[in-house]
Structure 1
Amino acid sequence: MSPDRAVLQRALDRGEREGGSVEFKERLRKDLHLSDGRRESLAAQLRHRVLSGDGEATYVVGVTDDGGLAGVPPAEFSESMDVLSLLAEEAGAHIDEVQTWSVDDAGARAGTDVDVAGAQAGSGSATDDDDSADGIVGVATIQEGAVLETDDEHIVVGTAGHVDHGKSTLVGSLVTGEADDGEGATRSYLDVKPHEVERGLSADLSYAVYGFDGDDEPVRMQNPHRKTDRARVVDESEKLVSFVDTVGHEPWLRTTIRGLVGQKLDYGLLTVAADDGPTKTTREHLGVLLATELPTMVAITKADLVSEERLAAVEREVETLLRDVGKTPLRIGRHGVDAAVDEVGDGVVPVFVTSSVEGRGLDALDEVFRRLPKTAGDDGDFRMYIDRTYSVTGVGAVASGTIMRGEVEAGDELLLGPMPDGSFREVEARSIEMHYHRVDEAKAGRIVGIALKGVDEADIERGMVLVPADSDPKPVREFEAEVMVLNHPTRIGDGYEPVVHLETISEAAVFHPEGGQLLPGDKGNTRVRFKFRPYLVEAGQRFVFREGQSKGVGTVTGVHTDDD
């Protein structure tokens, strides 16, 4: 019997009894169980179960009153979780976790451990369209206390740097407070895939989080293999620091750009290994950070591997690199943390010397992250560009990304799109999770997963947006922009076709420069047209474009819609 199956068996063995914390439900329906009188009665029953279990109750859905495995169709299981969530809220509690199994004639088959909203989780074993399963049975854990409420003390930091320059290891040491073993062990505390751990390379964006409590003490990760540990960090912290860890390998520059351009970042952290020094990739990543006008810091890593003379030489190289792009380096060892907090951004780039093996410089980074304010504004209506999608058993489609502005609450009616034909689809935010912790609402800058009702996961694509249902978004196929060519072997002429990276959009586009051409180093205006489909674009958004060794940055100055 698998561990997952054992969870279900234990709940069935404990049984539904008076004064116990286990409750059996075949299904829960909105029209029946939320009707007048019934809702209050069921909420009181749930409260009784929670109190009986010293703050925790277990609801088994998809079983009969005597514990028989009945199973319910995926769509009805999702509705049952919606109803259970509302009942828990009324009882001063919340759903902490849901585990599900498919049911066939032979009984329950082991399923997949999933979250209520499934943020940054893997796919479950069945979806709303899975006809292979007779039904679903699930075990929901109900915890006493309201769903976590978030505040504005949450900064998001994007990391960049050449492959093997210690980016992920540094972040892993920060979120755990542990020294690395010299082989990158602490990077396992990030959201990385097994093949990435095995190879020691990141192939996609990964995420990490730590925080500070009310006494300004760090709240760190303890177990990389438990998503509940990440939820604990979120729950115990007064201030959160989330990391979006990008990819250092040159072939995956596109993914790095997506991480730095497509997230609502507050700060950038560029790593440079002391044994290697700045590289071509270092310069490219610094260019992307500066193109997004992100307040940036530099961490010189692997200080334990070199002499003090070599370390001083690399510091000078970094300072020269920063001055070459018009920035003022600020050595933390000379000027201190106070100066870094006060002056980061506005042309000043603090430079730290660190070693994840010896712990050197980590206290200074902790102190800076604890004191840095949030920079990303949240004015305007809710908008989230989608970065990832999942399909989670019993929940359905989940869209993950960083909220660019505004805020969203569970139950909000939203629009998703544009679809390839330019239309938008009505959906509902069924539930929201942030770092595996369910929340009632989330604001600009939060990295979240939103479970969506009214759409299949297959119909959601990276680059689409979620906006309020009462908004009137217009799909954009063509826009005007002011651009600067950072690198190009010859000239950019009419019909030039790079890939445009704007928010989470990565799409081939055609340039029509004003005057017919742009030369390296030139700044000018151009009309840009997406080749294959429309997106939601607005004036003021910044973007990066690239094609081969050619790279540039731009700002949207105007858009063309079908109404024009």
Structure 2
Amino acid sequence: GKSTLVGSLVTGQADNGEGSTRGFLDVQPHEVERGLSADLSYAVYGFGDDGPVHLRNPHRKSDRARVVQESDRLVSFVDTVGHEPWLRTTIRGLVGQRLDYGLLVVAADDGPTKTTREHLGILLAMELPTVVAITKVDAVSEDRVQEVEREVERLLRDVERTPLRVERHGVEAAVEEISPSVVPVLRTSAVTMEGLDQLDAFFQRLPKTTADAREDFRMYIDRTYSVTGVGAVASGTVNSGSVEAGDELLVGPMADGSFREVEVRSIEMHYHRVDRAKTGRIVGIALKGVKESEIERGMVLLPADADPTPVRSFEADVMVLNHPTRIRDGYEPVVHLETVSEAVVFHPDGGQLLPGDTGEATVEFKFRPYLVEEGQRFVFREGSSKGVGTVTAIHED
């Protein structure tokens, strides 16, 4: 479904009906066997003067580097997981990356599922402008496609969003109108390639959503590696500003709240060595002055002259999306904020929060401090309960 659609978009190749293009994204052996994506996959394609710049062989790193070089405009996909057990990875993808838009995929055979609703809820809670692609329209009757379109439109209206059918209104209208409240809906098939030229035209024209106003470099670390001969590498999405090889940075906070001075050895983007990287790019940064074992996901890279405050607890406006009972003082969910995924303790003002409620709470990290700032959004979950929040104030230690 979803991975297959993205696979066909980035290669410009039709799928054989059995998910052949999906293999371009899947990374771990167990996924290839099951045909389910379990970790976030990154795909990229671009646009030059003559239209789309496709990947010819997505498994070759040099080919991804070629696309980065040849394109004036790059579209990167963070392909998250569509299956219930891995919702946590999806939340990580939606919250931890610097995303501009959401692409929600609904299969014409299955129609909208419980997972579709959850993903939509999170996209809307993060206020990401979203487009819905109905896939596999070649596999079902026209009546069924129309039925699924109606279900999708009802689902959107239920959450006070306005659906816009691209078939009826055209790509230009979709580009003009897309917003957190207007959601374009279009039909696609990775087998017949129906709708893919519309998606190409759409992605080519979409405006970049406004970047963070701050000029200073910042990147929350998503993954860490140790590369022979290079040392520690931190990867993630550049949240703001830009970074160059040779820059002096801070990394942290460490468990004790301190930050370490490091230097940027080199930067890679989709396997292509670059001298600098700007806001919104997914990059790997090789760091001098720190061991890979000392850095972890959820830490942040900042300019050397920054004066960051490690945060152990903060105030937040929270909204409970679903919870079997009420949330009481001492509730312990996991919070996903930027790339941080950490156990916290909630202290709701007034002692409790009911499902559907919006209220204020003090949120305290259980194990270590992180860099948290006013205005950041987060998702929290524990078992089947989920909610979203916005940081309103931080407590300085």
Map 1:181-330 onto structure 2 (within 5 A).
181-190=16-25, 192-215=27-50, 217-330=51-164
Equivalent position to 2:299, from 436, 448, 464: 464
Q: Deviations over 1:26-78 (max 9, x none)?
A: xxxxxxxxxxxxxxxxxxxxxxxxxxxxxxxxxxxxxxxxxxxxxxxxxxxxx
In the alignment, the residues of structure 2 paired with residue 191 and residue 403 of structure 1 have an alpha-carbon distance, to the nearest angstrom, of 24
Per the TM alignment, residue 499 of structure 1 is displaced from its structure 2 partner at its CA by: 0.7
Native 8 Å contact 1:189 1:221 kept in 2: no
**How far off its partner does 1:214 sit?**
2.4
Asked whether the equivalents of residues 127 and 180 of structure 2 are also in contact (C-alpha less than 8 Å), the reply is no
Taking structure 2 as the reference length, the TM-score comes to: 0.98
Identify the residue that residue 114 of structure 1 maps to in structure 2.
none
Which of 157, 167, 170 aligns to 1:333? It is: 167
Distance in 2 (CA, whole Å) between partners of 1:429 and 1:490 is 48
Q: Does 1:550 align with 2:385?
A: yes
Structure 2 residue 234 is the aligned partner of structure 1 residue 399: yes
1:191–1:208: 8 Å Cα contact kept in structure 2?
no
CA distance in 1, matches of 2:295, 2:16: 41
**In structure 2, the residue corresponding to 1:169 is in which secondary structure?**
helix
Question: Residues of 2 paired with 1:417 and 1:290: CA distance?
Answer: 30
Mapped partners of 2:376, 2:190: distance in 1: 36
- Residues 1:191 and 1:231: Cα distance change in structure 2 (over 3 Å): farther
Instruction: Tell me the equivalent position of 1:175.
Output: 10
TM-score by structure 1 length? 0.69
Q: How does 1:25-174 map to 2 (within 5 A)?
A: 166-174=1-9
* 3-state SS of 1:184 partner: coil
- Structure 2: runs of 5+ lacking an equivalent: none
Alpha-carbon separation, structure 2, partners of 1:191 and 1:397 = 25
Instruction: State the SS of the aligned residue for 2:221.
Output: strand
Q: Which residue is equivalent to 1:355? A: 189
- In structure 2, C-alpha distance between the alignment counterparts of 1:379 and 1:491, rounded to whole Å: 38
Match of 1:415 among 236, 250, 253: 250
State the Cα distance separating 1:478 from its structure 2 match: 0.1
CA–CA separation in structure 1 for the residues paired with 2:240 and 2:353: 33
Q: How many angstroms apart in 1 are the aligned matches of 2:356 and 2:59?
A: 47
Aligned-pair Cα RMSD in Å: 0.9
Cα distance in 1, alignment partners of residues 178 and 84 from structure 2: 28
1:407-556 matches, within 5 Å, as: 407-556=242-391
Counterpart pick for 1:345 among 167, 175, 179 = 179
Which amino acid in 2 is paired with 1:212?
F
* 2:222 alignment partner, SS class: strand
Q: Is the 8 A contact 1:378 1:443 kept in 2?
A: no
Higher mean alpha-carbon deviation, 524-533 vs 185-194, is at 185-194
Deviations 1:340-367 (A, max 9, x none): 0000014100001011011010000000
CA distance, structure 2, for counterparts of residue 418 and residue 198 of structure 1: 39
**In structure 2, how many angstroms separate the alpha carbons of the residues matched to 1:232 and 1:459?**
33
Percent sequence identity is 79
Give me the whole-angstrom Cα distance separating, in 1, the residues matched to 2:22 and 2:180.
31
2:394 and 2:241 map into 1 onto residues whose CA distance is 22
Contact 2:108 2:134 survives alignment (8 Å): yes
Q: Counterparts of 2:322 and 2:212 in 1: how far apart (Å)?
A: 33
| Residue-pair matches, total | 396
Cα deviations across residues 7-34 of structure 1 (Å, max 9, x unaligned)?
xxxxxxxxxxxxxxxxxxxxxxxxxxxx
Please report how far the alpha carbon of residue 183 of structure 1 lies from its aligned counterpart in structure 2 after TM superposition. Answer: 1.3
Partners of 2:57 and 2:393 in 1: CA distance: 48
How far does the alpha carbon of each residue in 1:376-415 deviate from its partner, in whole angstroms, 9 at most, with x for none? 4143211100111111111111100001111111110001
Partners of 2:322 and 2:138 in 1: CA distance: 35
**Does structure 2 retain, via aligned residues, the 8 Å contact 1:416–1:466?**
yes
Point out where structure 1 has 5 or more consecutive residues left out of the alignment.
1-165
Are the equivalent residues in 2 in contact too, given 1:263–1:503 (CA < 8 A)?
yes
Which whole-Å CA distance do the structure 1 matches of 2:226 and 2:353 have between them?
44
For residues 219-239 of structure 1, the C-alpha deviation after alignment (integer angstroms, 9 at most, x for no partner) is: 000012210000000000011
Q: Which structure has the larger Rg over C-alpha atoms?
A: 1
Structure 1: distance between partners of 2:388 and 2:141:
38
Distance 1:378 1:518, change over 3 A: closer
Which whole-Å CA distance do the structure 2 matches of 1:263 and 1:391 have between them? 22
The answer to whether the 8 A contact 1:211-1:238 is kept is: yes
Q: In the alignment, is the contact (CA less than 8 A) between 2:128 and 2:180 conserved in 1? A: no
Whether contact under 8 Å (1:266, 1:374) holds in the other structure is yes
Question: Is the Cα contact below 8 Å between 1:477 and 1:534 reproduced in 2?
Answer: yes
Tell whether the 8 Å contact from 1:414 to 1:427 is kept in structure 2 after alignment: yes
Q: Answer whether contact 2:217 2:243 (CA < 8 A) is retained.
A: yes
- Which whole-Å CA distance do the structure 2 matches of 1:178 and 1:521 have between them? 44
Following TM superposition, by how much is the alpha carbon of 1:198 offset from its aligned partner in structure 2, in angstroms? 2.6
Query: CA shift at 1:191, angstroms?
Result: 5.7
| Aligned residue type for 2:143 | E
Supply the distance in 1 between the matched residues of 2:64 and 2:28 (Cα, whole angstroms). Answer: 17
**Structure 2 SS opposite 1:272:** strand
Paired amino acid for 2:351: G
1:191–1:207 CA contact under 8 A, matched in 2: no
- TM-superposed CA distance for 1:561, in Å, is 1.6
